[in-house]
Structure 1
Amino acid sequence: MSKEKKFRVDFHTHIIPDNFPDLEAKYGDDRFPTLKHTCSCGAEIYKDSKVFRKIEDNAWDPEKRIAQMDEEGVDVQVLSPIPVTFTYWADPEKCLELSKAQNDFIASCVGKYPDRFVGLGTVPLQDADLAIAEMERAINELGLKGIEIGSNANGKTLDDPEILRFIEAAAKMDVPIFVHPWATIGVERMPKHNFMYSIGMPSETALAAASLIFSGILDKYPNFKICFSHGGGSLPYLLPRIDQAWDVWPHIRTTEQPPSYYAKKLYFDTLVYDPRNLQFMLEKFGADHIIMGTDYPFLLREVPPGKVVELLESVTEEEVKQMLGENAIDFLGLSKSNYIKETVK
């Protein structure tokens, strides 16, 4: 494979405002996440009156991120909120307040460095009307290019009528959606070993993707762009079993075609760590539906960005370029000329 410098877009990165709103103090509810700075270069996210995660300043400082992007060869990052901040459990108006603050912050980062960042917003998914209104503001007024949503809202999967109202509005507006797992199934059985991240999230993502497929939304909007994080979790490996269930139980069918037909319409990031897993996904979905993403800036992220793509053996130079950067540009409906530069030999 050629060693020329390739254009890279990290589609899966998270950011939080350094002045994150303290809704715990405002509303007297410690379920709201809060940010407590421990020094100029570090902070802790608290939830339920205990430390949820320790972070460094690259989680909120765009200049710090750009320096690290330059070191690691990333041209553009797609910024999205940290899933713990979704707060779908809260009163919808309070969730909207937090969504607006984050969307404004992400838009400000993009506005300051428009050639290095692209923004995805967040919405109060538990209330379709508020979610649609905030999506319209984020896209039409703030200039964000898509919306990140959780894999469920208070236990309601993506085929829930209220959530589907939002998803259909996004499809009509041609707004790309990025689905990230949160509030995972079986979380009560995963307190040890950080299994929520290593096992719960991939399982949750598969359930979310299957729920979307069975919703029928992809029959109605076949060109709708929706990307699932972490390589779709366990979905790629479960598709034959899901197809078999669809085939042998006609009463569960809600779509015109079997689930694997619709899975090929979905997009997936590359965060699977092993090139053999990614090769399997390529065979299932094609290189044009796979987008490089690392989960920056957290511990489970891929370093260096695009490593698993470059470890692939049976791919063309064009497929590598697609996965490393061009697919993200196409997915988000951006102008290639604004981002893709001449490669350096």
Structure 2
Amino acid sequence: MRIDFHTHIIPENFPDFEEKFGGGRWPVLKRTCTCGASIMVGGKNFREVTDQVWDPEKRIEDMDREGVDIQVLSPIPVTFSYWASAPQAAEMARIQNDFIVETVAHYPDRFVGLGTVPMQDGPTAVQEMDRCMKDLHLHGIEIGTNVNGKNLDDPSFIEFFEMAEKWEVPIFVHPWETLGRERMPHHNFMYTVGMPSETALAAATLAWSGIMEKFPGLKICFAHGGGSFPYIIPRLDQGWKVWPHLRLTTHPPSYYAKKFYFDSLNYDPLNIKYMIERFGHEKIFMGSDYPFLLREIQPGKVLDESLELTEEQREAMLGGNAAQFLNIEKKKRGIVHAGSTNAGE
């Protein structure tokens, strides 16, 4: 069984919040043809998307062709809208969360969902997380690597992490609003350099700051193989060692890094081998970043090409680890083989 932990989705009838609320930062979906659209921000093309990003039937066709049994659906990070007022961002989150739940309900054997919350306001974020988990029965929450430039150790996020630990909510951390983006106007470096660096900063923040020591039960997975974080851990540890006056934790960052989870989207078996040696194969899930251009095709390709894996390790990373992380019930794990849509069952 293969579970693609990292895929994104948006409603086809995504509302125009720019028209409703004003302001030039809302993402707006503008159809360009019957099979595609542009995500516009401030009147400029932010990203071209195909109908795979909203059409579950197209997704299932791809899943069947590529051997994926379950996709984990999460919002596109540009829709987080942390910069907006809490009530407006909460409305944006609710629309997407309801759409994801509806999609899962129509194809319960093929999809599970992650929700989004307005992280710019702690109580509102907790309220929507509560709704996502208790009313909508989503399987986790996706958040950004920063909120309006605040790193994830900001005191305003303590309540969110406290309740996420208490309610055992899986958290998927995805890069957005990358650091240094003003220096990356060319070559699409925002995606290839900025995002890995942004993810490293978020992971290092949680490992160094004491958040993981304060809330040891947090279940946190980082996108894109953790970006560059796995490779700077020795340097973080050296800093912790030589600057004792900056220490906020009992142990060095590498100790808390072993509590994290990561998707497998780093494209290279050598990197997978390194991550297994550092974190253990139990902490890695297959994830492709479907349906965007940088996605891995076929999903799980890097794991299939990692020849030194045992069959047990490979099967765990292709599906079993994600199922356990997301608390996917046995009835969903016992699905029929990819090829049956089971629409509406």
Residue 88 of structure 1 is matched in structure 2 by 82
1:268-307 to 2 correspondence within 5 Å? 268-307=262-301
Structure 1 equivalent of residue 215 of structure 2: 221
Per-residue Cα deviation, 1:118-174 (whole angstroms, up to 9, x for no partner): 000001001000000000011111111100000000000010011222122111110
1:209 aligns with 2:198: no
Q: Among residues 29, 51, 57, which one is paired with 1:35 in the alignment?
A: 29
CA drift of 1:343 comes to 7.7
Single out whichever of 29-38 and 176-185 deviates more from structure 2.
Answer: 29-38
Aligned counterparts, 1:73-152, within 5 A:
73-152=67-146
- Residues 81 and 102 of structure 1 are in contact (CA less than 8 Å); yes or no, is this contact kept in structure 2? yes
Secondary structure in 1 matching 2:114: strand
**SS of the residue aligned with 1:17?**
coil
Write the mapping of 1:147-158 to structure 2, written as runs, cut at 5 A: 147-158=141-152
Which residue of structure 1 lines up, in the alignment, with residue 42 of structure 2? 48
Contact 2:4-2:299 at 8 Å conserved across structures: yes
Distance 1:338 1:92 in 2: 34
Partner of 1:267: 261
SS at match of 2:321: helix
Contact kept in structure 2, 1:159 and 1:214, CA below 8 Å: no
Cα displacement string for residues 60-95 of structure 1 (whole angstroms, at most 9, x for unaligned residues): 011110111000000000000000001101111111
Q: Is the 8 A contact 2:83 2:148 kept in 1?
A: yes
Paired amino acid for 1:280 = Y
The equivalent residue for 1:4 is: none
Structure 2 segments unaligned to the other structure (5+ residues): 339-345
The aligned amino acid for 2:104 is: V
Q: Aligned with 1:80: secondary structure? A: strand
Secondary structure of the structure 2 residue equivalent to 1:163: helix
Query: 3-state SS of the aligned residue for 1:145?
Result: coil
2: CA distance, partners of 1:148 / 1:341:
25
Aligned counterparts of 2:108 and 2:87: Cα–Cα separation in 1: 30
Q: Secondary structure at the match of 1:208?
A: helix
Q: Does 1:311 align with 2:342?
A: no
CA shift for structure 1 position 223: 2.8
Code of the residue aligned with 2:235 in structure 1: it is R
Q: State how far apart, in whole Å, the 2-side matches of 1:179 and 1:156 are.
A: 14
Query: Given that residues 5 and 263 in structure 2 are in contact (C-alpha distance below 8 angstroms), is that contact kept between their aligned partners in structure 1?
Result: yes
Q: Determine the structure 1 residue equivalent to 2:342.
A: none
* Pairing 1:169–2:149 present: no
- Structure 1 residue aligned with 2:251, among 257, 280, 284? 257
1:281 Cα deviation (Å)? 0.5
Instruction: Give 1:221 deviation, angstroms.
Output: 2.9
Secondary structure in structure 1 of the residue aligned to 2:82: coil
For the residues of structure 2 that align with 1:252 and 1:183, how far apart are their CA atoms? 27
The whole-number CA distance in structure 2 between the counterparts of 1:77 and 1:301 is 14
Name the Cα RMSD after superposition: 1.2
SS at match of 1:100: helix
Specify which of 230, 234, 243 is matched with residue 240 of structure 1.
Answer: 234
Q: TM-score, structure 1 length as denominator?
A: 0.96
CA deviations 1:170-216 (Å, max 9, x no partner) are 11110000000001110100000000000000000000001111232
- Contact kept? 1:106, 1:119, Cα under 8 Å: yes
Find out whether 1:320 has 2:314 as its counterpart: yes
Q: SS of 1:255's equivalent?
A: coil
User: Following the alignment from structure 2 to structure 1, what is the Cα–Cα distance between the partners of residues 336 and 93?
Assistant: 37
Query: How much has 1:24 moved relative to structure 2?
Result: 0.4
Cα displacement (A) at 1:342? 7.8
* In structure 1, C-alpha distance between the alignment counterparts of 2:86 and 2:214, rounded to whole Å: 28
Contact 2:208-2:252 at 8 Å conserved across structures: no
In 1, the alpha carbon distance for the partners of 2:52 and 2:321 equals 25
Find the aligned partners of 2:331 and 2:111 in 1 and give their Cα distance: 15
Q: TM-score scaled by structure 2? A: 0.96
Q: CA deviation at 1:251?
A: 1.2
Question: In 2, are the aligned partners of 1:214 and 1:259 still within 8 Å (CA)?
Answer: yes
CA–CA distance in 2 between the matches of 1:157 and 1:130? 18
1:188 & 1:340 partners in 2: Cα distance?
A: 47
Q: Count residues in correspondence.
A: 338
Identical aligned residues as a percent: 60
Partner of 1:332: 326
Contact 2:273 2:306 in 1 (8 A): yes
